[in-house]
Amino acid sequence: MRVTAIDFETANAKPASVCSVGLSLLEDGCPEEVYYSLIRPEVNVSRFNYWNTQIHGITPKDVADAPEFPSVFRNMKPFFEDSVVCAHNARFDMGCLKAACLNCGIPIPHLRWFDTLALSRIMFPNLEHHRLDDMCQCLNVELNHHNAASDAYGCLMIVVHSMNLTGIYDVEELLRELRIPIHTL
């Protein structure tokens, strides 16, 4: 079973305003950063909010020549096949995926997903915070926070460390054992 970690950055508060995506894949026990793309948000959600830009550093100029979501989605789709998808604070990222698909008239992909925030809270209950940057610092994972590729890789490393700590290397068994739900999109 493959595990695909995903992370989106958005231009503004609208979930469909995705302006970058990163995917990392765990396959045969090997974690990899596998895909990153800037995304030119669709016209109806293309306004960049000052606060979002301050967080991720992506500007309208950066995405002016970037592909739009339908092209990027075609590249993302193969990573969802035979995979359980995860994200840190996953409702945000799953909401972005769903909203971007709906905004572009793309059928919402049927995928199964879980939240590494829930996983980190169970696996590391003594930590004061379970934000992605805190988790990566705790696990000694290098992180360029709010770069979607780096965030996806950091998220995947929470899964890898959890597997190593428990000795359970089947993600579905791990989640079942820890009583972490697998949701469907």
Quote the tokens at residue 78. 């193969």
The total of structural domains in the chain comes to 1
Rg of the chain on CA atoms, in Å: 16
Tell me what pLDDT residue 34 has: 85
Tell me what pLDDT residue 31 has: 87
Tell me what pLDDT residue 1 has: 78
Q: Identify which of 63, 83, 174 has the alpha carbon closest to the alpha carbon of residue 122.
A: 174
Distance of CA 71 to the CA centre of its chain: 18
DSSP 84: E
Mean pLDDT, range 8-18, rounded to an integer: 98
What does the alpha-carbon distance between residue 43 and residue 63 come to, in Å, rounded to a whole number? 12
For β-strands 183-184 and 2-10, DSSP reports them as unpaired
Q: Which domain holds residue 178?
A: 2-184
pLDDT one-digit tens code per residue, 108-154:
999 999 999 999 999 999 999 999 999 999 999 999 999 999 999 99
- For the entire predicted model, the pTM comes to 0.96
What does the alpha-carbon distance between residue 125 and residue 123 come to, in Å, rounded to a whole number? 6
CATH of the domain at 54: 3.30.420.10
- SS3 assignment, position 120: helix
The answer to whether residues 84 and 1 touch, using CB atoms and an 8 Å cutoff, is yes
Q: Is the dihedral of CA 14, 101, 77, 3 positive or negative?
A: positive
